[in-house]
Structure 1
Amino acid sequence: MLTENDVANVFDTILSIPGMNETVKIDLKISRKNVLLLNHVIDRGSASQGDSKSSALLKIISPENLDELKLLGDECLQKAGLNELYEKLKIFNDSGK
């Protein structure tokens, strides 16, 4: 069985493969519902990055990569016209905790 450190090393190795930093163009068509869900997952993942229960991949991800993911989520929200709705849902969700 692999230890958490072994898993982190495997992820780090995969992310270090030549060409992994190359930009790719993706033509993506997803529903507005999935844009909201994607953004929520990105937010939750970034918030739990230092958490002891977070995955090995989240623990080794660089702040720059995390910022890129957040920008991707924000861009998807903006293109779907859901920025305002998402912010209101975040406030609603935070008040329920």
Structure 2
Amino acid sequence: MEAKETKWLYETILSGPGMDEQVKFSFTASRKVILLLAEAIENGLKLDGSGLKESIGPIGTTELEQLKELLLEKSNLSLLANQLMKIK
């Protein structure tokens, strides 16, 4: 699927009823998984041309960045993540 088609698909799905509703959830995960999830979010936000980033826009990008920071903060991994970013 081309980026243009992928963008259209994501925009269609994300504009559906109830997609803007806030969801509160509680889960447990190892710090390893949290660190990997934060990295996956970070890498996903850097991908240009995939259609996903373009379809969520700046507000969605900001929300994902905030979620990543919250996950790192709650798992006491913020400092480690920042140090790893400096290594890259």
For the criterion TM > 0.5, the same-fold answer is yes
Q: Which runs of 5+ in 2 are unaligned?
A: none
Separation in 2, partners of 1:40, 1:7: 22
Which residue number corresponds to residue 63 of structure 2? Answer: 68
Q: Which runs of 5+ in 1 are unaligned?
A: none
4+ runs deviating over 4 angstroms: none
Aligned identity (percent) is 35
What amino acid is the match of 1:23? Q
Question: Comparing both chains, which one has the higher relative contact order based on Cα–Cα distances under 8 Å and sequence gaps of 6 or more?
Answer: 2
Structure with the greater alpha carbon radius of gyration? 1
Alignment deviations for residues 41-84 of structure 1 (CA, whole Å, 9 cap, x no partner): 11111122xx34xx222232211111111111111111111111
Aligned-residue Cα RMSD (Å) equals 1.5
- Taking a change above 3 Å as real, the CA distance of residues 91 and 4 of structure 1, as seen in their structure-2 partners, is closer
Alignment deviations for residues 1-22 of structure 1 (CA, whole Å, 9 cap, x no partner): x544233222111100011000
Is 1:38 the counterpart of 2:62? The answer is no
Which residue number corresponds to residue 80 of structure 1? Answer: 75
Q: Secondary structure at the match of 1:17?
A: coil
Separation in 1, partners of 2:31, 2:14: 30
